[in-house]
Amino acid sequence: MPEPIESEDKVERPSVVRLRWAGRILFWAGNIGLCALLYFVSLLIAVHFGKLSRASWMICFVSSLLALGGHLAGWFLLIYRSKGYGISGFLIVWQYWLLALVSGVSASFAFSGYQRYLVIFVLVSGIWLSSQFVPMLLVGPVIAIRRLLKSSR
């Protein structure tokens, strides 16, 4: 049976390729982020049974930074020359902010002395800067807080 010949009409547009890459990166960042969050919770539970080494907190810090970087790369690919692409639902936005919190807490346990303050300052500055570049990261939590305040009245 002869194999079908691909025509040149099926060449994908760069926006479709960019969207596909953004989806892949956000998928893997979400998976790494979920693993980092679960590892963080397990470290918080393990702290009650004994002292943990700084290396275990460093693993948590690096994995959460890797997931944060993946989130940012996916968001930047999604936004770059976008015609209004977006992500429905705010689960990925909330995971980003949880990973930011996990990064800060694990950095406070992983580093000591002046390094701790330097790393936390750079982390907070980077998270603030990234939220300025990706407005969706600020919109999701603000909408949720407004809904919470309206429902409590």
User: Which secondary structure element, helix H or strand E, spans residue 137, and what is its range?
Assistant: helix 136-152
Contact 111, 131 (CB under 8 A): no
**pTM across the whole model:** 0.79
Q: What is the model's pLDDT at position 151?
A: 78
Residue spans per domain, the chain: 13-152
Q: What is the model's pLDDT at position 121?
A: 95
What is the rounded CA–CA span in Å between residue 75 and residue 65? Answer: 15
C-alpha distances in Å from residue 68, one per residue of 37, 44, 49, 94: 12, 20, 29, 12
Q: What is the model's pLDDT at position 111?
A: 94
Q: What is the model's pLDDT at position 84?
A: 59
Overall average pLDDT of the 39-45 stretch:
95
Q: What is the model's pLDDT at position 130?
A: 84
Say whether 103 sits in a helix, a strand or coil. helix
